[in-house]
């Protein structure tokens, strides 16, 4: 099977259109970053607290916001996960934390605690003041200690059964009702009575809580920028050694283009920039360079084989000779990344999104831009030895 039989497209004809097209997207992105909505830094870079919560029953964003309004942090970002209205991510921002207290991360933790407290119902608050632990957040060891006096022999095993049930796929981290303990974990009525007496069941459970202090955020921002720049530089050196300076510079310009467009689109879609996204950007840099190198490799070969040929024609031939491979590899990569985007879940979604854009942009730039850069290089600098090696 073959998608394209004997491809013979005039890619170089569109070099100016491609440049203008890319330029416009980059410009839009840059404008949005500088004077528009800017880059939406996630907690990794901006600091702050992220609390992920699952509720027993369906709740609306409005209800959560109402609870948060009571403690004055209603402008936290509340994001629903999934479709059943039970799971939410609440992010509080640094400025609010600083208003609450001067200390760095303690302030964030304080806010995170405030969020959790604000969501508690009156009965739950009174249970806590009585010193009852929440069965939905209790530590396994402590639970074992709690039931030790009445079930000395099996305390540990029983405690484990309860926490395993709590974290199972069916319950997703929250026990909704004491009756579930007998139905799903087969616990005896005596034990359930004991638990009802000594614990309470909160109507929500905290699935994860992440707090990053501003100091770390600043650090990571610096490191991320450094890693990106050094990676680009490392690649430039490698290509300059394996090929020629001209190829290195052309490739790096192409990559810089990919990074700028991806960051721009990120800014335009208002997604959060987090560590995994930086990882995705660096990966797509490597990926896009793959494509570019395959084409450049052909260009170099053809410079030996087709000495008489016009340079523009030679570039076109090289792209056409590799177009099948470019399309197939991009296709399989796109397929896998798209799978990740669909099935990978919320945590990895931004990463998958970045890679999706990256694969498209990287393929486009390898085909349309990398060779144009070489073309312009030859036109402007007129290297005496030519571009072969």
Partner 1 sequence: MNKKIRWKIILVIAVIALAVFLAYPPGEKINLGLDLRGGMHLVLEVVTDDAVVTETDQEIARFKEELNENDISFEIISKTSGQIAQFYIEGFPPDKQGEVRQLVEEKFQQWDIRPSSERITLTIKSGVESYLREQSVRQSLQTIGNRVDELGLTEPTIQRQGLTGSRIIVELPGVEDPERVKEILKTTAKLEFRLVLSGPAPDRETLLADQDGEVPAGAEVMRGDLSRTQGEYYLVSDVAPIVGSDLRNARRTTDEWNNPAVSFSLNPEGARRFATFTEEHVGEPLSIVLDGQIQQVANIRERIPPPGDTILHGSYTMEEAEDISLVLRAGALPAGIRYLEDRTIGPSLGADSIRKGLTSILVALFLVLIFMGIYYRMAGINAIVALLLNILLLMGALAYFKASLTLPGIAGIILTVGMAVDANVLVFERIREELSQGKSVWSSIASGFSRAFKTILDANVTTIIAAIFLFQFGTGPIRGFAVTLIIGITASMFTAVFVSRLIFELTVPRTKKKQKLSI
Residues in 230-249 at the binding interface with partner 1, rule: CB under 8 A: 230-231, 234-235, 238-239, 242
Member of 90, 195, 224, 259 binding partner 1 (CB under 8 A): 224
Q: What gap in Å lies between CA 167 and CA 164, rounded to an integer?
A: 5
Of 2-21, binders to partner 1 (CB under 8 A) are 2
Interatomic CA distance for residues 313 and 319, integer angstroms? 10
> Using CA atoms, how far apart are residues 231 and 202, in angstroms rounded to an integer?
48
Interface with partner 1 in residues 180-209 (CB under 8 A): 205-209
How many residues bind partner 1 (CB under 8 A)? The answer is 85
- Interface pattern 45-64 for partner 1 (x via CB under 8 A): -------x------------
- Sequential DSSP letters for 223-276: HHHHHHHHHHHHHHHHHHHHS-HHHHHHHHHHHHHHHHHHHHHHHHHT-EE-HH
Shortest approach of partner 1 to residue 195 CB, angstroms? 17
Instruction: Look up residue 36 and give its two tokens.
Output: 């528009």
- Nearest residue (CB) to partner 1, 28 versus 324: 324
Compare residues 289 and 360 and give the one whose CB is closer to partner 1: 289
Task: Looking at residues 131 to 160 of the shown chain, list those that interact with partner 1 (rule: CB under 8 A).
Answer: 131, 137-142, 145
Q: How far is the CB of 42 from partner 1 (least distance, A)?
A: 13
Q: Read off the DSSP letter of residue 200.
A: B
CB closer to partner 1 out of 304 and 382: 304
Looking at 320, 333, 366, 370, which residue binds partner 1 (CB under 8 A)?
333
Under the criterion CB under 8 A, does residue 355 sit at the interface with partner 1?
Answer: yes
Contact with partner 1 (CB under 8 A) among 60, 193, 269, 332: 332
CB of 362 to partner 1, least distance (A): 12
How many H-runs (helices) and E-runs (strands) does the chain carry?
Answer: 16, 6
Q: Can you list the positions of beta strands (E) in the chain?
A: 40-41, 48-55, 77-81, 87-92, 204-212, 272-273
- DSSP string over 203-219: SEEEEEEEEE-HHHHHH
Name the residue nearer to partner 1 (CB basis): 163 or 176: 163
Task: Give the three-state DSSP class for 198.
Answer: helix
For partner 1, the binding residues in 241-300 under the rule CB under 8 A are: 242, 275-276, 278-279, 282-283, 285-287, 289-290, 293-294, 297
User: Taking Cα atoms as reference points, which of 284, 244, 268 lies closest to residue 364?
Assistant: 284
Can you state the percent helix, strand and coil of the chain, rounding each to 5?
A: 65, 10, 25
């Amino acid at each position: 099977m073959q998608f394209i039989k004997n491809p013979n497209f005039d890619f170089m004809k569109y070099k100016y259109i491609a440049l203008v097209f890319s330029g416009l997207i980059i410009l839009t992105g840059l404008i949005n970053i500088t004077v528009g909505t800017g880059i939406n830094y996630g907690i990794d870079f901006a600091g702050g607290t992220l609390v992920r919560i699952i509720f027993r029953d369906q709740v609306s964003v409005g209800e959560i916001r109402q609870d948060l309004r009571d403690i004055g942090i209603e402008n936290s970002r509340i994001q629903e996960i999934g479709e059943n209205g039970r799971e939410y991510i609440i992010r509080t921002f640094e400025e609010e934390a600083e208003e609450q207290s001067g200390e760095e991360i303690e302030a964030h933790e304080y806010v995170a605690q405030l969020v959790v407290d604000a969501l508690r119902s009156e009965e739950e608050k009174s249970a806590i003041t009585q010193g009852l632990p929440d069965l939905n957040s209790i530590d396994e060891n402590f639970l074992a200690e709690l039931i030790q006096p009445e079930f000395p022999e099996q305390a540990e095993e029983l405690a484990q059964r309860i926490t395993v049930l709590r974290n199972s796929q069916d319950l997703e981290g929250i026990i909704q009702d004491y009756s579930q303990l007998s139905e799903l974990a087969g616990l005896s009525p005596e034990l359930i009575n004991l638990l009802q007496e000594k614990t309470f069941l909160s109507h929500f459970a905290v699935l994860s809580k992440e707090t990053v202090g501003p100091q770390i955020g600043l650090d990571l921002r610096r490191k991320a920028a450094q890693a990106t720049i050094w990676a680009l530089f490392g690649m430039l050196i490698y290509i300059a050694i394996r090929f020629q300076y001209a190829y290195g510079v052309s490739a790096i310009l192409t990559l810089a283009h990919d990074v700028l467009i991806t960051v721009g689109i990120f800014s335009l879609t208002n997604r959060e920039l987090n560590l995994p996204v930086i990882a995705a950007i660096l990966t797509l840099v490597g990926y896009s360079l793959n494509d570019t190198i395959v084409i450049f490799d052909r260009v170099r070969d053809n410079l030996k084989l087709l000495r008489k040929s016009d340079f523009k024609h030679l570039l076109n031939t090289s792209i056409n000779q590799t177009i099948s491979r470019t399309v197939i590899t991009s296709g399989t990569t796109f397929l896998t990344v798209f799978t990740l985007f669909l099935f990978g879940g919320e945590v990895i979604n931004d990463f998958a999104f970045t890679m999706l854009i990256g694969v498209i942009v990287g393929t486009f730039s390898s085909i349309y831009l990398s060779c144009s850069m070489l073309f312009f290089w030859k036109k402007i600098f007129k290297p005496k030895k030519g571009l072969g090696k």
